[in-house]
Structure 1
Amino acid sequence: MTPIRIFYFSDVLCIWAYIAQIRLNELKTTFEDQIVIESHFVPIFGFAKENLENRWRDKGGLEGYSNHVQEVAKKFNHISVHPDIWTKFTPVSSTSCHLFLRAIQLLETKGLVNPSQQVFEKAIWAFRDAFFTKLANISDRQVQFQIAEELGLSIASIQAQIDSGEAYAQLSKNFDLVKEHIVTVSPTLIFNEGRQRLNGNVGYRIMEANIRELLKNPSREESWC
């Protein structure tokens, strides 16, 4: 049976995507070769600092948003968030991160790293963890280089994917998918060739139920209605 293809859209700076990672891991463990989760990016924090300052101006600004993120994090015991999140260091944009991560993914698709190492997915988590727990300014290229080195990746190889324009092309393709599927929320899961979607903080059992239903009733079958 052909694996179910799932598009997963998120922003690397999104607290809800940070929280949801454990659910994705569980889906991969539960369904193994029955599903394929493709990670894509949606630029919710494309101009992070300016956007947050404007949107939270009447609610305490960046400090107010920081308090909000910390209150959200307290509800989930599998994550931790630094008490100075979004205040001591405020990343300018997640787009820089997304470009760098696309460059890392190209190393996989070109066979420049062992695909079994799953460096792209590991890098996404490393970026999130560095920001939320260590206050790393992950929009800064030097910080990105540092994280890549910690993962044992070649900086020269990553930079070559950016310099050649290929990473930009992949990110542009990613943004076309965002427009095609009208994705405005992080995280968003899209199933069944766009006919089903789950937005935001969705529990694991709901994700699981959607997949089991598709496995039971393949999308190629005509709808009874």
Structure 2
Amino acid sequence: MKPAPKPLQITVYQDVLCSWCYLADLRLETLKHEFGDILRWRVRPYPLRVHDKRPTEKELRGLSQEVQRAQEEPEPAARLLTTELWRGGDAPRSSIPALAALEAARLQSPSARTQLARMMQRAALEQGINVTRTDVIFELASRAGLDMGPFSVAYHSEDTRKLILEEHELASSRGVRGVPTLVIAGRWMVCGLREVSEYREHILACLGKLYTPRPGAADRVVH
């Protein structure tokens, strides 16, 4: 009997403060149910704000405009997005603390990370709450039912932050410039928010190239 092919791995680079990632998660959820075990999903951090410094007024305007553009997407959830995170006087300085919390949650289980990520997205992007603050992070982690002792140790560990920075550097060296970005089977890259049908098309094309290769066919990066 011919063994079943290995699942196709899709790495999703995201930042919990990004409204485009918020919408991409909703669209990709459809494909997770549709493809099932054929795909293996891996979510990795890619901080848009790496350095710990207050955004300039120009940056705040740009970040607010990004949210306003995301509000125009067709999903009903897009109407829940608010610019308050960037206009409310307590704007995040860096994405690193929030992403460190997600890495700490992932050590307990992938589902714990997923749950905390969605809670953080909703708090930040629907309510305008600064989810990079330690007090907010710990309140959300507790609500998510995490084991707070191990979570605290992992969250405060310098190794966790080092991992995020190293991952950012590695992803950037491979061509990742923003989020959301999908890397399919380590070979094909899809950048930015796309329609569900377009994500599906890329996945099906990559499945075909992997499992029914044509002689002499060259790999191609999808942008």
Seen in structure 2, the aligned counterparts of structure 1 residues 11 and 27 have a Cα distance that, compared at 3 Å, is: same
Q: TM-score, normalised by structure 1?
A: 0.82
User: Structure 2 CA distance, aligned partners of 1:63 and 1:214?
Assistant: 38
Identity among equivalent pairs (%): 22
Deviation at 1:107, TM superposition (A): 1.6
Alignment of 1:101-180 (within 5 A): 101-108=102-109, 118-180=111-173
Q: Counterpart in 2 of 1:216?
A: 208
In structure 2, give the amino acid aligned to 1:126.
Answer: M
* Equivalent residue letter for 1:224: A
Amino acid at match of 1:81: L
- Answer yes or no: is the 8 Å Cα contact 2:182–2:190 preserved in 1: yes
Query: Deviation digits for residues 63-85 of structure 1, max 9, x if unmatched?
Result: 46424422431333223113523
1:178 Cα offset (Å): 1.4
Q: Does 1:18 align with 2:11?
A: no
* CA–CA separation in structure 2 for the residues paired with 1:81 and 1:24: 18
Question: Shift of residue 172 of structure 1?
Answer: 4.3
Question: Partner residue of 2:10?
Answer: 6
Once the two structures are TM-superposed, the CA of residue 219 in structure 1 deviates from its matched residue by: 5.8
What does residue 221 of structure 2 align with?
A: none
User: 1:153-204 CA deviation, whole Å, 9 max, x = no partner?
Assistant: 122120122345453354245234313422111110011323x111012111
Superposed CA deviations along residues 41-90 of structure 1, whole A, max 9, x for unmatched, are 1121224864553xx2xxxx624642442243133322311352311031
1: CA distance, partners of 2:77 / 2:23: 8
CA distance in structure 2 between the partners assigned to 1:5 and 1:64 by the alignment = 33
Residue in 1 that maps onto 2:198? 206
Q: CA separation of 1:169/1:220 partners in 2, compared to 1, >3 Å: closer, same or farther?
A: farther
Structure 1 gap ranges (5+): 109-114
Aligned residues: 210
Does the CA-based 8 Å contact 2:13-2:43 persist in structure 1? Answer: yes
